[in-house]
Structure 1
């Protein structure tokens, strides 16, 4: 299944966060990478990934830091991992031999 850059980033970050993957932690990590996105954009992206079967979500326990609201926990599915690997491989393959790569060395 083909995915885009933003979907890839959401999958990669959620995977790297593991059990700590939820909207705010994903947003914080994206911001640290210099890729700031709104809470709404992240939630919309997660909705899209879930509809495609690339992630599953569940409500975590309510937390005091969130005023008693539960976090929407994210887990990457096997299909999500496969889609992310395919996207990464495509970008890597397409980047081999491009002029700017030669100029970077």
Structure 2
């Protein structure tokens, strides 16, 4: 593999943050993932991965403004870093190399 250790869920979270751009916060990320992938995502699992990706330098975050709707709590918005984009690009290239190397008979029953 490459020099980056990126798990499947980490990759999906990074991609989802990139898709959402300026609207990437916890619940929005979960909604997007569940709608696109038709799979359930727990807030705890997401928060753990978001912290891990931020620690690795793949994501950055900042707080938005406090709102009355959230009882004065602020949302934490995530964005993908240049390093995170590089990791995603290299991961995609690795996967495509593997897909392109498959012989036709691999899919026949």
Measured against aligned partners, the alpha-carbon deviations of 1:29-55 in whole angstroms (never above 9, x if no partner) come to 010021321001111000000000000
Runs of 4+ aligned structure 1 residues displaced above 4 Å come to none
Aligned to 1:25: 28
TM-score under structure 1 length normalisation: 0.88
RMSD between aligned alpha carbons? 1.4
SS where residue 71 of structure 1 aligns? Answer: strand
SS where residue 41 of structure 1 aligns? Answer: helix
Aligned equivalents of 1:27, 1:73: Cα separation in 2: 13
Per-residue deviation, 1:2 = 2.7
Q: 1:53 aligns with which of 54, 57, 63?
A: 57
Aligned equivalents of 2:92, 2:9: Cα separation in 1: 12
Aligned to 2:88: 84
TM-score under structure 2 length normalisation: 0.85
Aligned equivalents of 2:63, 2:19: Cα separation in 1: 19
Q: 2:10 aligns with which of 7, 23, 26?
A: 7
> In terms of Rg, which structure is larger?
2
Structure 2's unaligned 5+ residue stretches are none
Per-residue deviation, 1:67 = 2.2
Per-residue deviation, 1:63 = 2.2
